[in-house]
């Protein structure tokens, strides 16, 4: 039976009025047959329109706060995943632009302590532009022509802004809702704004009490505009967190730069020139600052010593141990370099005495370029690779534990007879690990990289080494981070 049928059956037409009158339910002890009142009751006054409840307003505000906090959490999570200063600045510019509703922006970083900013001969350190969002290098160059004191970020960084007395002593943001309506705007600044097509700006300091003044971020609007109070609050919270993260990254990159500089100073400043052989070396310090090294030194009677190795550990202690190990190997090579096994045995004995808590891998080769003969021995090190027109193959060295792991190290040497134009490649495990693949796959990739060197590049060890590195690490030797990279190429004529 449908709804319409039920309505039709219960229609009041043709039925007594008494039957359509409401009937009270039967309740025990009460007679429900109470006559209905004879008069109609007065109509009830209309209820006034309901006002929004205070709870609903509070609920809407809470929902907005939760949404803002969720957005802020997601943006800071993305920022904390950045591992370099450059990536962090890109993330900061994009997140800040989304928070304040701008399309373009730039970050100005103050020089770190001990740089040119502190030099007494540099009166005008310049704006120090570091990164731009939606701005080309030429656009940043135009902005750089504006005197620093005429910009909002310049007044913030130099402490000349009148409102820099915030509660915590940190400069407050500076908003320019309409640059062209500002009579105090520098004429050159007005010209640059017209050329680049922005009409308003919002500048936020990158500063906290703990980190000090790092720099400032500027977002540019195409039309006169200014962020609302909610946007200002969110970007202020984000920038305080970003400042702490940027400070940590800058300290880390300064430490990495120092480690890389020390590592380069401990390695050969230039490769020797020995008749009959041409050399090329590539070294890239990893993010952890390991102790990978190489060496090439001329020996008596026109011979040449080639070496590569890696010290366990990372940081300054590993670098110091690497320097001691390399210097010791050079001394042993001069005394008895024609016997690589004796050189590594002496090095093993020295390590057990002076570096009892450390291990190292090493490979030493004694080369006679005139005869294109190479005698080599290795201690836990990756095998060299010989590449030329007719072959590309790994040298079968005897298996041995690293230095420092045996009571007395000794393994037989291997002798190579090279063809004219063949190149011997010495490298460290870091080159293999940087690929992120299992070691057997990494060895196969290295073999393929050496075999695929174009014929025109095989005569130049520098070009050959660069080709192998680019093939092994297409994104560049500094992209993957982590391990040190050492590659030493010796081409025998």
CB 388 within 8 A of CB 324: no
- pTM (two decimals): 0.64
Q: Give the model confidence (pLDDT) of 229-244 as tens digits.
A: 999 999 999 999 999 9
Instruction: Tell whether the model's pLDDT for residue 34 goes beyond 60.
Output: no
301 lies in the same domain as 446:
yes
Instruction: Tell whether the model's pLDDT for residue 428 goes beyond 50.
Output: yes
pLDDT of residue 314: 79
CB 9 within 8 A of CB 3: no
40 within domain boundaries? no
220 within domain boundaries? yes
Instruction: Tell whether the model's pLDDT for residue 259 goes beyond 80.
Output: no
249 lies in the same domain as 299:
no
pLDDT of residue 262: 79
178 lies in the same domain as 271:
no
333 lies in the same domain as 351:
yes
16 within domain boundaries? no
Q: In the chain, what's the furthest Cα-to-Cα distance?
A: 136
216 lies in the same domain as 300:
no
CA 364 centroid distance within chain: 36
Lowest mean pLDDT among 157-166, 280-289, 389-398: 157-166
Cβ burial of 238 (10 Å; 0-12, 13-18, 19+) is: buried
pLDDT of residue 407: 59
411 lies in the same domain as 448:
yes
Q: What's 156's domain CATH number? A: 3.30.450.40
Mean pLDDT on 356-376: 93
Mean pLDDT on 241-250: 92
Instruction: Tell whether the model's pLDDT for residue 389 goes beyond 80.
Output: yes
Instruction: Tell whether the model's pLDDT for residue 384 goes beyond 90.
Output: yes
Q: Which of 224, 257, 290 is the last residue of a domain?
A: 257
330 within domain boundaries? yes
User: Measured in Å, how far apart are the chain's first and last C-alpha atoms?
Assistant: 104
Kindly write down the DSSP assignment for every residue of 293-325, as one continuous string: EEEEEEEGGGEEEEEEEEEEEESHHHHHHHHHH
480 lies in the same domain as 334:
yes
324 lies in the same domain as 427:
yes
Instruction: Tell whether the model's pLDDT for residue 282 goes beyond 90.
Output: yes
Instruction: Tell whether the model's pLDDT for residue 452 goes beyond 90.
Output: yes
Instruction: Tell whether the model's pLDDT for residue 419 goes beyond 60.
Output: yes
80 lies in the same domain as 204:
yes
Q: Give the model confidence (pLDDT) of 100-138 as tens digits.
A: 999 999 999 987 654 433 333 334 444 455 789 999 999
349 lies in the same domain as 236:
no
| % of residues, the chain, pLDDT over 70 | 81
Burial 92-129 (b: 16+ CB within 10 A, else e): bbbbbbebbebebbbbbbbeeeeeeeeeeeeeebebbb
Query: Average pLDDT, whole number, for the chain?
Result: 82
223 lies in the same domain as 352:
no
Lowest mean pLDDT among 328-332, 398-402, 480-484: 480-484
Mean pLDDT on 420-443: 93
More confident residue, 42 or 133: 133
Residue 426, beta-bridge partner list: 488
pLDDT of residue 267: 83
61 within domain boundaries? no
Q: Which of 257, 275, 298 is the last residue of a domain?
A: 257
Mean pLDDT on 203-216: 90
More confident residue, 166 or 217: 217
58 within domain boundaries? no
Domain span at 148: 71-257
pLDDT of residue 132: 92
Mean pLDDT on 448-475: 93
Mean pLDDT on 330-349: 91
Q: What's 292's domain CATH number? A: 3.60.40.10
pLDDT of residue 32: 42
Q: Which of 194, 223, 257 is the last residue of a domain?
A: 257
More confident residue, 93 or 45: 93
Mean pLDDT on 337-352: 90
Label residue 8 by pLDDT band (50, 70, 90): very low
Instruction: Tell whether the model's pLDDT for residue 39 goes beyond 70.
Output: no
Instruction: Tell whether the model's pLDDT for residue 431 goes beyond 50.
Output: yes
| % of residues, the chain, pLDDT over 90 | 54
Number of domains in the chain: 2
- Secondary structure element (H or E) that encloses residue 187, with its range: helix 187-196
Kindly write down the DSSP assignment for every residue of 201-269, as one continuous string: EEEEEEEETTTEEEEEEEEEESSS----HHHHHHHHHHHHHHHHHHHHHHHHHHHHHHHHHHHHHHS-S
Instruction: Tell whether the model's pLDDT for residue 219 goes beyond 50.
Output: yes
382 within domain boundaries? yes
Mean pLDDT on 164-185: 81
Tokens of residue 51, six digits: 């006002």
* Distance between CA atoms of residues 257 and 253, nearest Å: 6
226 lies in the same domain as 277:
no
238 within domain boundaries? yes
């Amino acid at each position: 039976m449908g709804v319409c049928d039920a309505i039709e059956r219960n229609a009041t037409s043709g039925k007594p009025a008494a039957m359509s009158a409401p009937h009270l339910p039967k309740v025990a002890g009460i007679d429900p047959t109470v006559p209905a009142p004879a008069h109609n009751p007065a109509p009830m006054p209309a209820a006034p329109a309901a006002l929004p409840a205070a709870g609903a307003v509070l609920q809407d505000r809470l929902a907005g706060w939760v949404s803002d906090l969720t957005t802020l959490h997601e943006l800071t999570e993305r920022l904390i995943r950045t591992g370099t200063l450059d990536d962090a600045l890109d993330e900061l510019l994009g997140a800040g632009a989304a928070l304040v509703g701008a399309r373009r922006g730039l970050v100005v970083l103050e020089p770190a302590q001990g740089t040119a900013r502190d030099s007494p001969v540099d009166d005008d350190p310049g704006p120090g532009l570091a990164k731009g969002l939606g701005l080309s290098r030429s656009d940043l160059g135009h902005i750089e022509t504006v005197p620093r004191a005429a910009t909002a970020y310049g007044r913030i960084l130099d402490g000349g802004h009148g409102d820099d007395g915030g509660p915590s002593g940190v400069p407050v943001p500076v908003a320019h809702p309409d640059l062209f309506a500002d009579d105090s705007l520098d004429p050159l600044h007005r010209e640059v704004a017209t050329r680049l097509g922005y009409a308003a700006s919002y500048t936020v300091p990158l500063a906290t009490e703990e980190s000090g003044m790092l720099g400032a971020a500027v977002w540019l609007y195409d039309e006169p505009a200014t962020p609302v109070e909610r946007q200002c609050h969110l970007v202020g919270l984000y920038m305080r967190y970003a400042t702490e993260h940027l400070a940590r990254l800058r300290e880390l990159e300064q430490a990495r730069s120092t480690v890389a500089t020390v590592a380069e100073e401990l390695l050969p400043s230039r490769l020797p020139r020995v008749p009959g052989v041409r050399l090329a070396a590539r070294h890239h310090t990893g993010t952890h600052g390991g102790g990978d090294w190489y060496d090439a030194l001329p020996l008596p009677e026109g011979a040449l010593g080639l070496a590569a190795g890696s010290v366990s550990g990372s940081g300054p202690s590993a670098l110091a141990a690497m320097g001691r190990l390399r210097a010791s190997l050079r001394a042993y090579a001069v005394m008895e370099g024609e016997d690589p096994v004796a050189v590594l045995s002496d090095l093993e004995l020295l390590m057990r005495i002076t570096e009892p808590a450390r291990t190292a891998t090493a490979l030493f080769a004694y080369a006679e370029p005139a005869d294109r003969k190479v005698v080599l021995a290795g201690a836990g090190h990756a095998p060299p690779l010989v590449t030329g027109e007719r072959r590309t193959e790994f040298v079968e060295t005897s298996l041995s534990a690293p230095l420092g792991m045996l009571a007395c190290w000794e393994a037989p040497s291997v002798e190579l007879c090279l063809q004219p134009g063949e190149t011997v490649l010495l490298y460290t495990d870091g080159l293999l690990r940087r690929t992120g693949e299992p070691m057997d796959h990494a060895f196969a990739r290295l073999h393929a990289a050496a075999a695929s060197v174009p014929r025109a590049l095989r005569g130049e060890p520098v070009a050959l080494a660069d080709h192998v590195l680019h093939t092994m690490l297409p994104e560049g030797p500094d992209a993957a981070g982590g391990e040190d990279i050492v590659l030493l190429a010796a081409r025998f004529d």
